[in-house]
Amino acid sequence: MARHLITSAIPYINGIKHLGNLVGSQLPADLYARYLRARGHEVLFLCATDEHGTPAELAAAKAGKPVAEYCAEMWEVQAKLADGFRLSFDHFGRSSSTQNHKLTQHFAGVLADQGLIREVSETQMYSKADGRYLPDRYIEGTCPNCGFDSARGDQCDNCTKQLDPVDLINPHSTISGSTDLEMRETKHLYLRQSEMKDQLEEWIDTREGWPVLTTSIAKKWLNDGDGLQDRGITRDLDWGVPVQRGDEPWPGMEGKVFYVWFDAPIEYIACSQEWVEAGKGDDWARWWRTDKGADDVRYTQFMGKDNVPFHTLSFPVTILGSGEPWKLVDYIKSFNYLNYDGGQFSTSRGRGVFMDQALEILPADYWRWWLLSHAPESSDSEFTWENFQISVNKDLADVLGNFASRVTKFCRSKFSEAVPEAGTYGPDEDRLIAALTDKLREYEQHMEAIEVRKSAAALRAAWVLGNEYLQEVAPWTTFKTDPDKAAAQIRLALNLIRLYAVVSAPFIPDASKQLLDAMQTDDRNWPDDVPSALAALPAGHAFAVPEVTFRKITDDERAEWQERFAGVRE
Ligand SMILES: [Zn+2]
């Protein structure tokens, strides 16, 4: 038994996430957490919402709500959806928690003590009417390149030219509409990442077996161009963690907050403190402090490829640079993008399926299975309705669901609603047991290596073995000439249903529970030894025929959904 700390990249607060976001971090992290728990390991699985920064302020303003209230509401929405998808977080925290405020201020203080923070004077647009500095997205004006009249301070959405606020013609504040703007000098803190370059490179080089996707992105940022750059960690905003040097004020930094990229990953640690405060655990330090027992913890992070630079460089600078004994990540599992039906998911155009919509049309397991078995690991992958329909109807309905239904219904009609006693196993059963043992060991290896698609393929192959066995031995035919032999075949098949429920639980937890309930057992012991696992339900053990485990998707539904989610609203 080992100890596993698992974190999923934390979703931003400003809206409901689409299925591409889900499969890029939270869902595979949940698969891994569930698998490790099923194998008897001690697991702490954490996720949270990322709540600070300009986009949260803008979204709150659009919703006509104070930003704190908006974030609290959206946290509820995201927590409920996570629950709907059966994401088994030990805690779902918030980066706006007091724990994260304190810890972020602590890290800034110790990094300053270590000489890793410098102050920089910059000029920034100030709005007298609003009484504040304006981030780039709060300034709009006419694009000097194409004449578009709503170009933002950082970019023109019409011609895509990158802009500085001073480039805009007739710039105005998007908060008040005021044109009374001026450039003013303001001071910011920079994290001296460049100082840590060699130490980072040495650390990355000693990480064993990291995916190429992860290390290649990290190396690119370390070495391309002028190498790793220092980065601003403060903003002139109201909403965020107030800049302090530990518990002390930071002279000259009054009214400023830490930049969201600095405080968001620190929430991984703060989340474990929230977990303790919520009464779900009693010691966060044994997961995070190597001087307090975290030495034997294996820490795995899950994220989309766009988050890799922050997790391989910026957050490790915070951890390593502090000089304190914090736990560093052991393995980073990163994902490419999931595309949607020949294009990209688009929040603004309502293109693709979002988490709330998905659960409105089908239960979580249908999505979990498709998304995980098509996870964008080695390259981007694509959701199409045709593929989704085929995968659900074939893998889930025909192979797994139909097996459970056929076996239990046959037993009920020819024997009773209890495991039959007669007959003994022969060469057919030995062959199945040997093949199944090989396939399960392969499944475990892929799961331990976090090879998500290969794990799904091995699991599907294990389901297929049961179907092939049933086709070959055909108990409905055997029964006519040798009912005892048919009884033995069905006894094995009923036990296979329990075995499938146990090993499939990380992928499809609800179906797993439904099948275990039908088999009237709580025995979730992992089939380390297949022959004894196939004797777990003894002769005479009562069961019930399950309701339909997975239904098929019709062609009409597929066509309807394809049209509904094609994206029209602007
Ligand atoms: Zn333009």
Q: What would the pLDDT profile of 103-116 be if each residue is shown by its tens digit?
A: 999 999 999 999 99
3 close to 297: Cβ distance less than 8 angstroms: yes
- Centre of ligand 1 to C-alpha 154, Å, is 11
Residues 316-345 have a mean pLDDT of: 94
243 close to 250: Cβ distance less than 8 angstroms: yes
- Centre of ligand 1 to C-alpha 344, Å, is 23
125 close to 171: Cβ distance less than 8 angstroms: yes
- Three-state DSSP state, 51: coil
* 411 annotated to a ligand binding site: no
Q: Is the pLDDT of residue 459 over 50?
A: yes
Token duo for residue 342? 């020949």
3-state secondary structure 457-471: HHHHHHHHHHHHHHH
- Centre of ligand 1 to C-alpha 170, Å, is 14
- Centre of ligand 1 to C-alpha 195, Å, is 38
Cα 357 from Cα 538, distance rounded (Å): 43
Please tell me the predicted confidence (pLDDT) of residue 136.
Answer: 82
94 vs 159, higher pLDDT: 94
Cα 493 from Cα 495, distance rounded (Å): 5
* CB-based burial label for 504 (10 Å; 0-12, 13-18, 19+): buried
* 146 annotated to a ligand binding site: yes
Tell me the range of 104-108, 184-188, 201-205 where mean pLDDT is highest: 104-108
- Centre of ligand 1 to C-alpha 157, Å, is 7
Please tell me the predicted confidence (pLDDT) of residue 570.
Answer: 39
* 271 annotated to a ligand binding site: no
Cα 443 from Cα 460, distance rounded (Å): 10
Cα 516 from Cα 544, distance rounded (Å): 10
- Centre of ligand 1 to C-alpha 443, Å, is 52
- Centre of ligand 1 to C-alpha 162, Å, is 9
52 close to 240: Cβ distance less than 8 angstroms: yes
CA atoms within 13 Å, Cβ hemisphere of 504: 31
List the beta bridge partners of residue 133.
126
- Pairing verdict, β 169-173 and 244-245: unpaired
- Centre of ligand 1 to C-alpha 158, Å, is 5
Q: Which amino acid is at 185?
A: E
116 close to 191: Cβ distance less than 8 angstroms: yes
pTM given for the model: 0.93
Cα 14 to chain centroid, rounded = 17
229 close to 236: Cβ distance less than 8 angstroms: no
pLDDT digits (tens, 9 = 90+) for 276-315: 999 999 999 999 999 999 999 999 999 998 899 889 999 9
Please tell me the predicted confidence (pLDDT) of residue 159.
Answer: 85
List the beta bridge partners of residue 124.
184
- Centre of ligand 1 to C-alpha 342, Å, is 27
- Pairing verdict, β 381-383 and 338-340: parallel
Quote the mean pLDDT of the chain. 94
Q: Which amino acid is at 525?
A: N
- Centre of ligand 1 to C-alpha 57, Å, is 25
Of residues 233, 228, 225, the one with CA closest to residue 194:
228
Flag the least confident range among 144-158, 261-275, 419-433: 144-158
Residues 517-544 have a mean pLDDT of: 97
Residues 23-31 have a mean pLDDT of: 98
- Centre of ligand 1 to C-alpha 156, Å, is 5
Residue 207: pLDDT band by 50, 70, 90 thresholds? confident
Please tell me the predicted confidence (pLDDT) of residue 568.
Answer: 65
The region that residue 362 occupies, defined by phi over 0 for left and psi between -120 and 50 for alpha, beta otherwise, is beta
CA distances to 115, 256, 334, 348, 508 from 383, in Å: 48, 43, 19, 19, 19
- Centre of ligand 1 to C-alpha 163, Å, is 9
Flag the least confident range among 4-8, 109-113, 206-210, 377-381: 206-210
- Centre of ligand 1 to C-alpha 173, Å, is 18
List the beta bridge partners of residue 431.
none
Q: Is the pLDDT of residue 217 over 90?
A: no
- Centre of ligand 1 to C-alpha 164, Å, is 12
pLDDT digits (tens, 9 = 90+) for 409-436: 999 999 999 999 999 999 999 999 999 9
pLDDT digits (tens, 9 = 90+) for 345-396: 988 788 999 999 999 999 999 999 999 999 999 899 999 999 999 999 999 9
Cβ atoms within 10 Å, residue 257: 23
Of residues 193, 446, 167, 179, the one with CA closest to residue 318:
193
Residue 135: pLDDT band by 50, 70, 90 thresholds? confident
DSSP secondary structure string for all residues of 207-254: --S--HHHHHHHHHHHHSTT-SPPEE-EES-SSSPBPEETTEE-TT-T
* CB-based burial label for 86 (10 Å; 0-12, 13-18, 19+): middle
Q: Is the pLDDT of residue 569 over 60?
A: no
Percent of the chain with pLDDT over 90: 83
Token duo for residue 561? 């959904």
Cα 148 from Cα 7, distance rounded (Å): 42
Of residues 13, 54, 71, 55, the one with CA closest to residue 236:
54
Q: Is the pLDDT of residue 221 over 60?
A: yes
